[in-house]
Structure 1
Amino acid sequence: MSIAIKNVVKNFGSFSALNDVSVDVPSGELVALLGPSGCGKTTLLRIIAGLETPDTGNILFNGTDTTDRDVRERQVGFVFQHYALFRHMTVFENVAFGLRVRPRSTRPTDAEIHRRVHELLELVQLDWLADRYPPQLSGGQRQRIALARALAVEPKVLLLDEPFGALDAKVRKDLRRWLRRLHDELHITSVFVTHDQEEALEVADRIVVMNHGKVEQIGTPQEVYDKPASPFVYQFLGNVNLFHSRVNAGRASIADIELQIDSHHDTQDSAAFAYVRPHDIDIQKERGSQPAFEATVTYVHAIGPLVRLELQRADNTELIEAELTRERFRELDITEGARVFIQPRNVRVFLDQKSA
Structure 2
Amino acid sequence: MSILVQQVSKRFGDFAALDDVSLEFPTGELVALLGPSGCGKTTLLRIVAGLEFADAGRIVLGGEDVASIGTRERQVGFVFQHYALFRHMTVFENVAFGLRVKARRERISEPQIRAKVHELLGLVQLDWLADHYPAELSGGQRQRIALARALAVEPKVLLLDEPFGALDAKVRKELRSWLRRLHDELHITTIFVTHDQEEALEVADRIVLMNRGQVAQIGAPQDVYDAPESAFVYEFLGAANRLAGRLETRDFVADAGGYRVSVPDGDLPARPQDGRAVAYVRPHDLALQPASSGEHGINVSVRRAIPLGGTVRVELAAPDASVWEVELDRAGWRALNASPGQALRAVPRSLRVFPLQDR
| TM-score, length basis structure 1 | 0.95
% identity of equivalent residues: 60
Match of 2:159 in 1: 159
Compared CA separation, residues 59 and 280, structure 1 to 2 (3 A):
same
Contact in 2 for aligned 1:120/1:148 (Cα 8 Å): yes
* Structure 1 residues without counterparts, runs of 5 or longer: none
In the alignment, what sits opposite 1:302? Answer: 307
- Aligned twin of 1:272: 277
The answer on 1:335 being equivalent to 2:349 is no
Residue of structure 1 equivalent to 2:149:
149
- Deviation string 1:126-151 (CA, Å, 9 cap, x unpaired) is 00011111111111111100000000
Q: Return the offset for 1:287.
A: 5.4
**Superposed CA offset, 1:142-178 (max 9, x none):** 1100000000000000000111111111111111111
Contact kept, 8 Å, 2:248 with 2:274, in 1: the verdict is yes
Aligned-residue CA RMSD (Å) = 1.7
Q: CA deviation at 1:266?
A: 6.3
Measured after TM superposition, the shift of residue 120 of structure 1 is 0.3
1:249 and 1:264 in contact (8 A); partners too: no
Cross-structure match for 1:324: 328
* Per-residue deviation, 1:46: 0.3
* Cα distance in 2 for residues equivalent to 1:184 and 1:289: 52
Contact preservation (8 Å) 2:45, 2:161: yes
- What's 1:224 paired with? 224
TM-score w.r.t. length of structure 2: 0.94
Q: Which residue of 1 aligns with 2:199?
A: 199
Q: Hey, what's the Cα distance between the residues in 2 that align with 1:290 and 1:227?
A: 27
Stretches of structure 2 lacking an aligned partner (at least 5 in a row): none
1:89-140 CA deviation, whole Å, 9 max, x = no partner? 1111110111111111110111111111111000000000111111111111
The answer to whether structure 1 residue 260 and structure 2 residue 265 are counterparts is no
Distance (whole Å) between structure 2 residues aligned to residue 293 and residue 18 of structure 1: 41
Displacement of 1:294 after TM fit?
2.1
Q: How far apart in 1 are the matches of 2:5 and 2:311?
A: 41
Matched residues, number: 353
Describe the SS at the equivalent of 2:89.
coil
User: Secondary structure, in 3 states, of the residue corresponding to 2:121?
Assistant: helix
What residue is the counterpart of 2:184 in the other structure? Answer: 184
Query: Which residue does 1:284 correspond to in 2?
Result: 289
* Runs of 4+ with >6 A deviation: none
Tell me how far apart the structure 2 counterparts of residues 265 and 197 of structure 1 sit (CA, whole Å): 25
Deviation at 1:332, TM superposition (A): 2.2
Query: Does the Cα contact within 8 Å between 2:291 and 2:343 map onto a contact in 1?
Result: no
